[in-house]
Structure 1
């Protein structure tokens, strides 16, 4: 017996998406039980990953399609839900935890390593955790994980963003400035090769910058180098990154702030106005300095 009903599916999706989902049953390519729910792949404009979860008896639907990215319970979730109600899957009813608790240490190690060798996502997560004791090796691993070598569509962007989140979770534990710096550089490079119309990956860059600012405050890098790096990131790249200079005051210090401000003013004097967006960015940075109480020109 499932943890949701057809009425619950309809309520969450709405009549329109429910009707569309009812016609999508044949598009469900795979459907598998997982702990606390089911996961599936549904073909449409692209191939989308769906997960239905039982959260304290409530139905929660997740899908990698654009409609779900806007916060809606999509037709792909409906199609998977209807198949679950037909009994194609039972929602992870097996007592996985109970079985795992019967295994000894060696059996657990073999089971986990075996699955990691078959599952790239699990392997990546474990590799990031294992690399925390060797920062040089971890940085090389991050380099290979986050460097893109060609354009990816929406589905690829979703998968790439998940990689970025996993890397940032490890970086947050370590608060290693050089690692965070390289993560930001790689993701900013990737912004030119991904379909990020919803701004999800851009948001991860903003979060990574805030985290890097904290790391710089704890262990300040060379002020001039940090200032020049921030200038290149904000003004000399693709223009898709906005640096909040106030976040970096502790890391830059007076010397770094002076270098950054001089760089902004130099670019402002040379600005020909042909790129209105860049001109607005320069104006924003100049106004940011004017609003900083602890700054004196």
Structure 2
């Protein structure tokens, strides 16, 4: 099989020139004040480009702390994501603006360096060999509790039975959805990230063919979230987005496990009428309760969940 040719600096420059972010569009989406602040960040050299490709740029920006920024698209059509609170509150921020302006001003040599940065790391890691990599990852996990938890779960998937995994993941769901007192708007993003992490772990089970376990865990998740959402300021919809994502995972698990349609309808109907939220609105409207029901029908498990009641 022929190997892909490595891109030269001129190749990379051509790609980025076609991917340049239109200044008028950038100013419009950011607004004059944010654009000016982003320009100052770019001029101060606060942006470090991590990787750059056809239509995606990942960078780190030094502000009050180090923020991860990602831009996708090109020209007049692009979007972004930033880990700063301003992005969570208002959308396109000065950090994303600074990244776009930095990309627009990179020279050929800088473009090649940015494009090859992660490639050099990959080459270095490949040369280490499996045993050295294992020790490196274990060393990182010893210092990072979240990474250690993820690795423990992945290892358990190979050997643990459903009862063991259920106990581990129910605890993860309980911990992630716990609300002490009341969660204010400014703290919601961190709370939603913890919940997304728990959902990441649950979704991994689908890859291992454990859809029935996923459905059981989501029963626990939905019960916890129904209560938790009454104790948070979810004005930006972050908590609701986690709930909606869980519904999508539930849909995928139903398609894989194919539970009894009548039993599933009863469960969905109970959630629809008993929950204070509308994520399961219309979920139980099944056209025919037989084994010939088309899995994936929007009337079974592929509903479009509405945002919860306020």
Identify the residue that residue 93 of structure 1 maps to in structure 2.
Answer: 117
Partner of 2:21: 8
Whether contact under 8 Å (2:47, 2:98) holds in the other structure is no
1:224-263 Cα deviation digits (max 9, x unpaired): 6973x5455333343253241136975999xxxxxxxxxx
Aligned to 1:50, the other structure's residue is in SS state: strand
> What does the per-residue CA deviation read over 1:208-239, in whole Å, with 9 as the maximum and x for residues that have no partner?
33543564573537966973x54553333432
- Distance (Å, rounded) in 1 between the aligned partners of 2:44 and 2:169: 35
Which 10-residue stretch deviates more, 117-126 or 61-70?
61-70
C-alpha contact (below 8 Å) 1:33/1:39 kept by paired residues = yes
Alignment of structure 1 residues 82-231 onto 2, 5 Å: 91=114, 93=117, 95-133=120-158, 134=160, 135-147=162-174, 148-150=178-180, 151-152=182-183, 153-173=187-207, 174-176=210-212, 177-213=215-251, 215-216=253-254, 218-220=257-259, 227=266, 229-231=267-269
**Matched ranges for 1:36-47 at <5 A:** 37-40=58-61, 42-43=63-64
Consecutive unaligned residues in structure 1, runs of 5 or more: 254-276, 279-297
Structure 2 alignment gaps of length 5 or more: 1-8, 53-57, 293-307
Change (3 A) 1:198 1:48: farther
Paired residue for 1:62, among 67, 81, 84?
A: 81
Q: 1:20 maps to which residue? A: 37
**Corresponding residue number in structure 2 for 1:287:** none
1:21 touches 1:79 (CA, 8 Å); kept in 2?
yes
Structure 2 length normalisation: TM-score?
0.58
Alignment check: 8 A CA contact 1:168 1:208 kept: no
Matched residues, number: 247
Whole-Å Cα distance in 1 between the matches of residues 124 and 36 of structure 2?
A: 40
